[in-house]
């Protein structure tokens, strides 16, 4: 049975950077108080990239995908599977993956979206791995992409300071050499209320609440516990010890969650990739953007063992172990 090997990666962030100070000044015009100090101390976030009006998830996804394909040395003709993880698709349908396929000039292969919020990329990677292992795809594009700014309530300081926009992508290829070596996904739908955007477009109107709502403390606690358990389980599945992991690439929501998790697992800080300071929380894009950043600056190298972890709305979480 072939492995799914990562042969390329790419990231794309919209050009507009909004610092904490700039955001705080904007919120102050609406009598909403926040500060760079509060945001940095509670989250580690210093800035975020925000898409300009009219910039869509499929556009960000296409840019990241093209960079990943160039990095992998493949063309649109080689791609026989496209999976986009997103909670902010361009349309109800067609899927963002179909729009990306058309933008890239790829034809004929399967293309679909996965909706697992901030766990979306690890869900998509696990799905693409299963397609490749089963012989149903040979070269897959796996993308996490979001214009999360479009579902934020910019009058809710408890959430609007936390998120940003962007896209990250990897190209997976069927290979006899190890690539994805273990994966495990979880969900607990009974926890849906702690993080949701419980709105819908139906009968020509928005029904329910179109904005993201979060019980931050409940999410914080669940995230640390779920990810710690998932890390142990995925390592057990692969028959490796946590100490063998070269790089941990966790979901980038809050540097305090990342630090707690690293400590709980005994993984030293210098093996943990952190981009939340620059990107904020880009939901499904956060893990592939962090992975790509660490690959490009030379930290993640061929042969390294990488653990990627996602957690978020649903409630969903999961881990993927990859040999580079």
As annotated, the active-site residues are 118, 251, 281
Report the C-alpha gap between 163 and 147 in whole angstroms.
Answer: 10
Query: Least CB distance from residue 195 to ligand UT7, whole Å?
Result: 6
Q: How many residues line the site for ligand UT7 (CB under 6 A)? A: 19
**Angle at Cα 197 formed by Cα 194 and Cα 199, nearest 5°?**
135
Q: Closer CB to ligand UT7, residue 229 or residue 296?
A: 229
Q: How many residues does the chain have?
A: 324
Binding of residue 261 to ligand UT7 (CB under 6 A):
no
Residue 316 found at the interface with ligand UT7 (CB under 6 A) = no
Range in contact with ligand UT7 (rule: CB under 6 A) among 71-79, 200-208, 231-239, 250-258: 250-258
Contact between 118 and ligand UT7 (CB under 6 A)?
yes
Chosen residue from 42, 229, 264, 299 binding ligand UT7 by CB under 6 A: 42
Which residue, among 162, 144, 157, has the nearest Cα to 279 in the 3D structure?
Answer: 162
Of the candidate residues 157, 173, 295, 323, the single one contacting ligand UT7 (CB under 6 A): 157
38 binds ligand UT7, rule: CB under 6 A: yes
Q: Write the CA distances from 321 to 111, 247, 269, integer angstroms.
A: 24, 10, 18
Looking at beta carbons only, is 6 or 223 nearer to ligand UT7? 223
* Smallest distance from ligand UT7 to CB 323, Å: 27
Cβ–Cβ under 8 Å, residues 93 and 32: no
| Per-residue contact flags (x/-) with ligand UT7 for residues 195 to 234, judged by CB under 6 A | x--------------------xx-xx--x-----------
Window 62-91: contact mask with ligand UT7 (x via CB under 6 A): ------------------------------
Residues 16, 206: Cα–Cα separation, whole Å: 28
Beta strands in the chain (DSSP E): 3-12, 17-19, 47-49, 81-85, 110-114, 139-146, 166-175, 180-187, 195-196, 199-202, 205-208, 213-214, 247-250, 305-312, 316-323
Could you give phi then psi for residue 174, rounded to 5 degrees?
-65, 135
| DSSP notation for 76-135 | GGG--EEEEE-SS-SSSSS-HHHHHHHHHT--SSEEEEE--GGGHHHHHHHHHHHHHHTT
- The residue among 126 and 254 lying less far from ligand UT7, judged by its C-beta, is 254
Residue from the set 62, 281, 282, 316 that interacts with ligand UT7 by CB under 6 A: 281
Q: Which residues form the interface with ligand UT7 (CB under 6 A)?
A: 34, 38, 42-43, 118, 157-158, 161, 195, 216-217, 219-220, 223, 253-254, 257, 281, 312
């Amino acid at each position: 049975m072939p492995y799914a090997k990562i042969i390329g990666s790419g990231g794309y962030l919209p050009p507009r950077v909004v610092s904490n100070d700039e955001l705080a000044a904007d919120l102050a015009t609406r009598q909403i108080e926040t500060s760079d100090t509060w945001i940095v101390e509670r989250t580690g976030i210093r800035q975020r990239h925000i898409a300009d009006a009219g910039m869509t998830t499929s556009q960000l996804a296409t840019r990241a995908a093209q960079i990943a394909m160039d990095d992998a040395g493949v063309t649109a003709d080689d791609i026989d599977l496209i999976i986009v993880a997103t909670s902010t698709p361009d349309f109800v349908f067609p899927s963002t993956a179909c729009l990306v396929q058309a933008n890239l000039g790829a034809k004929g292969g399967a293309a679909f979206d996965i909706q697992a919020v901030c766990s979306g990329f690890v869900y998509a990677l696990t799905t693409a791995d299963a397609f490749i292992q089963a012989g149903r795809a040979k070269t897959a594009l796996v993308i996490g992409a979001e214009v999360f700014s479009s579902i934020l309530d910019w009058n809710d300081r408890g959430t609007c300071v936390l998120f940003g926009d962007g896209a990250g992508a990897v190209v997976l290829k069927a290979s006899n050499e190890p690539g994805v070596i273990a994966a495990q996904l979880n969900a607990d739908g009974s926890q849906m209320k702690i993080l949701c955007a419980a709105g819908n477009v139906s009968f020509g109107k928005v029904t329910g609440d179109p904005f993201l709502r979060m019980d931050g403390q409940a999410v914080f606690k669940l995230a640390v516990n779920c990810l710690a358990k998932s890390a142990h389980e995925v390592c057990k599945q692969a028959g490796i010890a946590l100490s063998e992991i070269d790089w941990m690439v966790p979901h980038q929501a809050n540097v305090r969650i990342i630090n707690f998790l690293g400590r709980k697992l005994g993984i030293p800080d210098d093996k943990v990739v952190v981009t939340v300071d620059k990107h904020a929380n880009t939901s499904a894009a956060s893990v592939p953007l962090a992975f790509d950043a660490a690959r490009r600056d030379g930290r993640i190298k061929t042969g390294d063992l990488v653990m990627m972890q996602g957690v978020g709305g649903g409630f969903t979480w999961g881990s993927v172990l990859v040999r580079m």
